[in-house]
Amino acid sequence: MKSFILIFVFSIFITLTGCNKNNNQSKQSNTSMSSTQAEKEKNQKIELVQEITGVWANNQNLMSIVYQNGNFQFWHGNTQMIAKLGDIDLENETVNILFSIQKNAPELILTVKRVWNADKTSFTLEVTGEQSIAGEFKFIRKITNDDLNRFAQIAQHQANTKTEEMPIAPKNNNDQPVPVEPVPSTTVIYPASVTLSTTEAHKIARSYINQMFNYSAAETLRPYYAAYVDYYDKGTISQDRVIGDKENYINKWHTRQAYQDGALKISNGITDNQKVVTFTYRFVLTDHEKEIRGKSIRHITFEKMGNEIVIISEKGKPLGSSVRRLR
């Protein structure tokens, strides 16, 4: 009888042990599946950001999204924003970019949505959240070494032209100055005091337009341009290439007449130190064979860098023209 009881108890123990083992294995399996799913979702989010990495443009803006080796950068034209990645929605294919104009300023949210064409062979980006940069952006190119070198040069130039005073070193208990760690030369600082007013933008725009209508040598326009300019459909190009294009324009048309048609329109740029000046003008161009009369619109973005105001973007298009043959 005792033997029977012992055998019965032992059987129950084995059964309970087996059930507990199965439960533990089930829990471990569920945890493993959950971990695998989370890792898969993380990789999908990274893949989405990598796929929208590149240089994008619409009629008035150039936008660069850079994601490499876990490092994220967001550029509007020649201005690097203080930015980081926010929420990523895989179902709706949206990426939030959290950015601020300057250090310690409130963050703004820019939502970038991937929008596929009908047969899903290409896509555009629909950007919402910040009026001056919102809209549909078309793909220009992937980020190249040329872009990375340009970003580094702009950052270095901005760092070298900052005139902010270094902080005064505090003193310790021994009345000895405590060393202040210097800011690396590649760090871009965005001082809150740099603001481009409407009055300043109007003044520099009038000066530029007068020169634009009357220049006979392209070099006279050089002081108005930044080192790199988002220039029509050419993307971001060097100041030398801009001046070269102006020189080609002079050589192509041996007589040029132009005058402003209507008032200047000045709107805010993406940052406090930028203004977008829009104006229309009429022109008459002649070469040895024809005369062209027409009207065009131009969008010029001015940026204040320290005490200097320069053009960082120039866009425009013809609004209509007529051609008369001279021979």
Q: Give Rg (Cα) of the chain.
A: 30
Own/partner long-range contacts of 287-293 (Cβ < 8 Å, ≥24 apart) = 287/252, 287/253, 287/254, 288/254, 288/326, 288/327, 289/325, 289/326, 289/327, 290/323, 290/324, 290/325, 290/326, 291/323, 291/324, 291/326, 292/321, 292/322, 292/323, 292/324, 293/321, 293/322, 293/324
Tell me what pLDDT residue 170 has: 42
- Provide the residue type at 179 as one letter: P
* pLDDT for the residue 316: 92
Q: Does residue 24 have a pLDDT over 80?
A: no
Over range 198-211, report the average pLDDT: 93
Confidence (pLDDT) at 182: 37
Amino acid at 171: K
Q: Picking from 2-6, 125-129, 214-218, 297-301, which range would have the lowest pLDDT averaged per residue?
A: 2-6
Q: Dihedral (C-alpha) 217, 222, 224, 227: value to the nearest 10 degrees? A: 160
Instruction: Look at residues 79, 66, 78 and name the one whose alpha carbon lies nearest to residue 228.
Output: 78
278 band by pLDDT with thresholds 50, 70 and 90? very high
Please give the DSSP secondary-structure letter assigned to residue 171: B
- Looking at every residue in the chain, the average pLDDT score rounds to 78
**What is the pLDDT, as a whole number, of residue 225?**
93
**What sections of the chain are H helices per DSSP?**
2-52, 145-161, 198-214, 239-252
Bigger pLDDT: 303 vs 105? 303
**Cβ–Cβ < 8 Å for 6, 49:** no
Model confidence over 123-138: pLDDT tens digits?
999 998 765 677 888 8
Residue 81 has pLDDT above 50, yes or no: yes
Neighbour count for residue 271 (Cβ, 10 Å): 21
Is residue 36 within 8 Å of residue 42, measured between CB atoms? no
Record the tokens describing residue 95, joined without a space: 């990426």
Among the ranges given (27-36, 172-181, 227-236, 281-290), the one the predictor scored with the smallest mean pLDDT: 172-181
Residue 9: per-residue pLDDT: 47
Contact 284, 291 (CB under 8 A): yes
Q: Work out the pLDDT band at 59, boundaries 50, 70, 90.
A: confident
pLDDT tens-digit profile of 220-268? 999 999 888 888 988 888 888 999 999 998 888 888 888 888 899 999 8
Q: Please report which confidence band the pLDDT of residue 181 belongs to, taking 50, 70 and 90 as the band edges.
A: very low
Distance of alpha carbon 315 from the chain centroid:
16
- The answer on pLDDT for 93 being more than 90 is yes
Q: What is the pTM of this model?
A: 0.50
Quick: pLDDT tens for 205-220: 999 999 888 877 889 9
Q: Is 1 exposed, middle or buried (0-12, 13-18, 19+ CB in 10 A)?
A: exposed
Q: So what's the pLDDT on residue 101?
A: 63
